[in-house]
Structure 1
Amino acid sequence: MKELFEFIYNWFHSLTGISPNVQHRIVLTLLIILFFFILDKITLKIVFKRNEDPALRYKWRKGVFYLSYFLGFLLVARVWLYQLPSLVTYFGLLSAGVAIALRDPLTSFVAWIFILWRKPFDVGDRIEIDKVKGDVIDVRIFQLTLIEVGNWVDADQSTGRLIHVPNHKVFTGYVANYTVAFPYIWEEKEVLITFESDWKKAKEILREVADKHTSIYQDDARKYVKEASKKFLVYFNKLTPIVYTDVKESGVRLTVRYFCPARRRRGISTDIWEDILDNFQKEKGINLAYPTQRWVR
């Protein structure tokens, strides 16, 4: 068998000019790649067979890929860098030039490590980064991918576009996370009624309507507030709906403030508005206000 391999190496050397030593390293490299490729397929097949959760499958797929890539890189480097002392200086000079030429990709790589380590967001979170808002569906070495939310679509609903954002944006701008550790947000609705309206009754209606549509979330929200306070300086003394009163040129402005799940913002807003309009229609002493002009002669 050894003679056969030597014959093949010598024959290929005479054909291509590649030395048997280099051929041997090429074969080892291909075997390492093939080994980890097969190992990935087998591991993921076992995991996918036992788990139906898409989020868990995604994390396994990413984890297996990165682990295989890292171990494979170390083994391939061990195969080729057999003259390590003589190559250290060369790679040191090369890395300095690469760092200058590829500043953004390298920063994105460091940002990727930061994202995995500090977890300012994770796959599935709704975030806003670099003035783009969306749900994170993938985090790769150099970029993350969002399903865009908002933009020309009113409220927090998807546009259907995929937005690819370089990872280094986490260092150069702010990152707003709508759902990590605390999947609730404050929402407000402004209702303007005429000065002649019964504003106290209107205020009572707004509070009752908001409570009707958000009370089912209050216990869950308190649980998340308690959990979030263990990691962040987060506290809310009041999670029940609040109605504030203000006076504007066209009438009395009532602002109802309530807690709601970040991903159900538009649906709850629709239900509350429809309930408000129905209740105001039943009350003869309450009328919505709007800017008007009166001409006096």
Structure 2
Amino acid sequence: MNEPTSYSDDFMPDDERKTTASPSPAAASAASHTATWLTVLGVGVLAIAFIVIETRLVSLPETAEGFAKKILQGGALALLFLVLRRLLKGALSRQVVDASVRFNLERVLDLTLGLVLFFVLMTLLFSDWYTAAVSLGLLSVILGFALQTPITSFIGWIYILVRKSFRVGDRIRVGDITGDVIDLSYLDTTILEVRGDYLTGDHPSGRIIKFPNLTVLSEAVYNYTTISYPFIWNEIKVQLAYQSDLELVTRLMTEVVERELGPALQERLTAYRDLLNRTMLGETASPLGPLVFFTVSDNTWVEAIVRYVVKPHEAETVKTRLIRKLLHELNQHDEKVLLPKSNMR
């Protein structure tokens, strides 16, 4: 295998749905006008060339004249397909709100129109269907042997779309790579790496990594923002002395997390419970709030652990904010919440 070179929205509040960056209206308008003028220019050039050949202003051999007309007809078909592509993409941008879904549909549209145009041009250029079919068959066999890896990667792209392994904007881990998907092409996937070799949190490292799509056919894909549940559980550990009031610690940690995360926490926990109810784990007790656990350390203290649900892209920021609030609150009760008295801490 090649080594890499680097929601359902049912469960998401409207303000948490992810979108990808889009060009400014001015830039989009300029690009649209440029494409329109280029199309008009292409039509004009083809029309003039066809008139020149048809009126025999330029003398060509009969065979060359027939071939030139086919070339011009093929160019006209290509321009027609470009116009059709623009119209269909415009319809997609108006009808499909989800940016990730629209991105995948546009890729499928480009591939479909490209294949149709290719076969139409082959039909136009080769009047003998049998000869064209034999030529395509031999070419397919040769390319099949020479391009096994790209073909497998293309199959991997289809697998990703059909199985919904991930979408553009999702945070995933494949092998040793963790990051946010910024592009999903026919042959490879591009991600903005998170953490990497030089960082410890969930901050982007700045490295762009590509890996072939065939990787998903043999590697496990961990999706932190999966369609069915785009949140993750995170936790914070605080070390306490054995003499601490654990009931008070439980209450304080729960109150801080509920206060800081607000109503969004309950919405995410409700979505988590709904997800469990749709699986064989439906009878499992679902939490209604933050979870607080205690474990005994191998050293001389107790670890208080609070767990909560958060969006993956906000995990590091939320954890930092909660640690500050938790320590501030616990230090307000230093007579009952005791820290370990050891230099090993």
The letter of the residue matching 2:306 is: V
CA apart distance, 1:283: 1.7
Q: 2:338 aligns with which of 275, 287, 292?
A: 287
User: What SS class does the counterpart of residue 202 from structure 1 fall into?
Assistant: helix
1:156 is matched with: 202
Q: 1:1-297 alignment to 2 at 5 Å?
A: 4-5=53-54, 7=56, 10-11=59-60, 13=61, 19-44=64-89, 55=100, 58=103, 61-151=106-196, 152-180=198-226, 181-225=228-272, 228=275, 235=282, 237-239=285-287, 240-248=289-297, 249-285=299-335, 286-289=337-340, 292=343
1:191 touches 1:288 (CA, 8 Å); kept in 2? no
Q: What is the distance in 2 between the residues matched to 1:23 and 1:202? A: 84
Q: What is the distance in 2 between the residues matched to 1:245 and 1:202? A: 10
2:296 touches 2:302 (CA, 8 Å); kept in 1? yes
For structure 1, which runs of at least 5 residues remain unmatched after alignment?
Answer: none
2:11 is matched with: none
CA apart distance, 1:33: 1.5
CA 1:73–1:8 in 2, change beyond 3 Å: closer, same or farther? farther
User: What SS class does the counterpart of residue 19 from structure 1 fall into?
Assistant: helix
User: What SS class does the counterpart of residue 308 from structure 2 fall into?
Assistant: strand
CA 1:31–1:221 in 2, change beyond 3 Å: closer, same or farther? same
CA apart distance, 1:277: 0.9
Task: For CA contacts below 8 A with separation 6 or more, give which structure has more relative contact order.
Answer: 2
The letter of the residue matching 2:216 is: V
% same residue? 23
User: What SS class does the counterpart of residue 303 from structure 2 fall into?
Assistant: strand
CA apart distance, 1:206: 2.2
Q: Number of paired residues?
A: 289
User: What SS class does the counterpart of residue 211 from structure 1 fall into?
Assistant: helix
CA apart distance, 1:270: 1.5
Q: What is the distance in 2 between the residues matched to 1:275 and 1:2? A: 78
For structure 2, which runs of at least 5 residues remain unmatched after alignment?
Answer: 1-49
CA 1:167–1:232 in 2, change beyond 3 Å: closer, same or farther? farther
CA 1:121–1:92 in 2, change beyond 3 Å: closer, same or farther? same
Show CA shifts across 1:242-289 (max 9, x none): 222211213111222222222221122112101111012212232333
User: What SS class does the counterpart of residue 156 from structure 1 fall into?
Assistant: coil
The letter of the residue matching 2:308 is: Y
Q: What is the distance in 2 between the residues matched to 1:85 and 1:274? A: 75
2:123 touches 2:129 (CA, 8 Å); kept in 1? no
Q: TM-score, normalised by structure 2?
A: 0.71
Q: What is the distance in 1 between the residues matched to 2:341 and 2:151? A: 55
Q: What is the distance in 1 between the residues matched to 2:278 and 2:126? A: 45
The letter of the residue matching 2:286 is: K
Q: TM-score, normalised by structure 1?
A: 0.81
Which sits farther off after the overlay, 102-111 or 232-241?
A: 232-241
Show CA shifts across 1:81-126 (max 9, x none): 4333234444434433322321110011111122222221122222
CA apart distance, 1:50: 8.8
Which sits farther off after the overlay, 82-91 or 104-113?
A: 82-91
Alignment RMSD = 3.3
Which sits farther off after the overlay, 124-133 or 175-184?
A: 124-133
Q: What is the distance in 1 between the residues matched to 2:93 and 2:120? A: 28
User: What SS class does the counterpart of residue 204 from structure 1 fall into?
Assistant: helix
